[in-house]
Structure 1
Amino acid sequence: MDDPKTLVSTDWLAKHIRDPDLRILDASWYMPAENRDARAEYDAAHIPGARFFDIDEIADLRSDLPHMVPPVEKFMSRMRALGVGDGHQVVVYDGAGIFSAARVWWLFRLMGQNDIAVLDGGLPKWQAEGHPIEDLPPVIRDRHMTVRRQNQMVRDVTQVASASKLGDHEIIDARAAERFSGAASEPRAGLRSGHIPGSKNLPFGNLLNGDGTMKAPEALRAAFEAAGIDLAKPAITSCGSGVTAAILSLAMERFGKTDHALYDGSWTEWGAFPTLPIATGDT
Structure 2
Amino acid sequence: MSNLVSTEWLAAHLGDVRLVDASWYMPAEKRQPAQEFEAGHIPGAVFFDIDTIADHSLDLPHMLPSAGEFSAAAGKLGIGDGESVVVYDGSGIFSAPRVWWTLRAMGHKDVKVLDGGFPKWKREGRAIETGPAKPNTKSFTATFKPQIVRDFDAVMGIVKDKSARMVDARSASRFNGEEKEPRAGLRSGHMPGAANVHFRSLIAADGTLKPRGQLCAAFEQAGVDTSKPIVTTCGSGLTAAILMLALDEIGAADVALYDGSWTEWGGRPEAPVVTG
Residue identity in the other structure for 2:40: A
Match of 2:8 among 8, 11, 17: 11
What is the aligned partner in structure 1 of residue 45 from structure 2? 50
Residues 106-161 of structure 1: per-residue CA shift (max 9 Å, x gap): 00111111111111011100000001111133342222123221111111111101
What is the aligned partner in structure 2 of residue 121 from structure 1? 116
- Runs of 4+ in structure 1 deviating by more than 2 angstroms, as ranges, are 136-139
What is the aligned partner in structure 1 of residue 218 from structure 2? 223
Residues 77-122 of structure 1: per-residue CA shift (max 9 Å, x gap): 0111111011311010111100000000000111111111111011
The answer to whether the Cα contact below 8 Å between 2:226 and 2:247 also exists between their aligned partners in 1 is no
Residue identity in the other structure for 2:198: P
What is the aligned partner in structure 2 of residue 167 from structure 1? 162
State the TM-score, normalized to the length of structure 1.
Answer: 0.95
State the TM-score, normalized to the length of structure 2.
Answer: 0.98
1:190 aligned counterpart, secondary structure: coil
What is the aligned partner in structure 2 of residue 23 from structure 1? 18
Match of 2:198 among 197, 203, 222: 203
- CA distance in 2 between counterparts of 1:246 and 1:108 reads 12
Residue identity in the other structure for 1:219: Q
The answer to whether the Cα contact below 8 Å between 1:49 and 1:137 also exists between their aligned partners in 2 is no
Residues 1-283 of structure 1 mapped to structure 2, 5 A cutoff: 3=2, 6-19=3-16, 22-281=17-276
1:236 aligned counterpart, secondary structure: strand
| TM superposition shift of 1:232 | 2.5
Residue identity in the other structure for 1:210: A
Residue identity in the other structure for 2:197: L
- CA distance in 2 between counterparts of 1:261 and 1:53 reads 22
The answer to whether the Cα contact below 8 Å between 2:47 and 2:133 also exists between their aligned partners in 1 is no
1:261 aligned counterpart, secondary structure: strand
Residues 203-245 of structure 1: per-residue CA shift (max 9 Å, x gap): 0011110111001122211211111112232000000000000
| TM superposition shift of 1:75 | 0.4
Unaligned 5+ runs, structure 2: none
How many residues end up aligned between the 2 structures? Answer: 276
2:15 aligned counterpart, secondary structure: coil
Unaligned 5+ runs, structure 1: none
2:113 aligned counterpart, secondary structure: strand
- CA distance in 2 between counterparts of 1:86 and 1:277 reads 41
| TM superposition shift of 1:192 | 0.5
Residues 48-69 of structure 1: per-residue CA shift (max 9 Å, x gap): 1110000001000111000000
1:18 aligned counterpart, secondary structure: helix
Percent identity between the aligned chains?
55
